[in-house]
Structure 1
Amino acid sequence: MTSSSFLSATVSSAFEMGLTARSIYRVDDAADVRITVRRGSVWITLDNDPVDVVLSVGEQFSTSQHRRALVSALEPSCISVAPTVEHTVRKAAPQRSPNLRLSHFQPA
């Protein structure tokens, strides 16, 4: 395998990427990352996990395990990679008093 067919990144925001057949995309820490197949099919394996996953169009993979994941394109494919919803939800703002209304803030 040549280095040009091996891609790696950390995932802090969503993106899509095309993969040529037999190319590999590496996610160094797959915890809280969602991989969705948009086109083609991919094979996903986690370090030290005996179970591999094959996904086709529309299928998703995510894990809470802090392990490296390898995503191998079985054919020309397109995947989206994003933090899982739970990972991207920000803490809700504290509840405001229901007694305060915009009319209470009239200019003097």
Structure 2
Amino acid sequence: MNKEMNVDQSTLVDAWQKQLPEYLNPGDSAQVQADAADPKGLRIHIDAAGHQFFSFDFQCSYLDRREVQVELVDVERAGQTVAENTEQIQELTGDYVRHIHECAQALSPMTNP
């Protein structure tokens, strides 16, 4: 039986904001915000390092105290929305989704005491 997660959203946001950069590539930056539509959700914005000026927006929701569901919301290049189905975008998205899951695992002692 899955117990409800009893960590408040602002504590979760703070923990993610501190922890997530450790899992990203050097030079990448991330902003983590509460998802106003989901009390167990986060919005994650990642600016990719390099000369491409890509930024990624993800929705991250806790399914239970250990597992998160991550969905790509938007990809932009220099402020303009770009197609998400190119090989480069798919590869970067996959990397970021993996990093987000790794961060969730690292934070599991807090969400799954």
Q: TM-score per shorter chain, which class?
A: under 0.3
TM-score by length of 1: 0.27
Larger Rg: 1 or 2?
Answer: 1
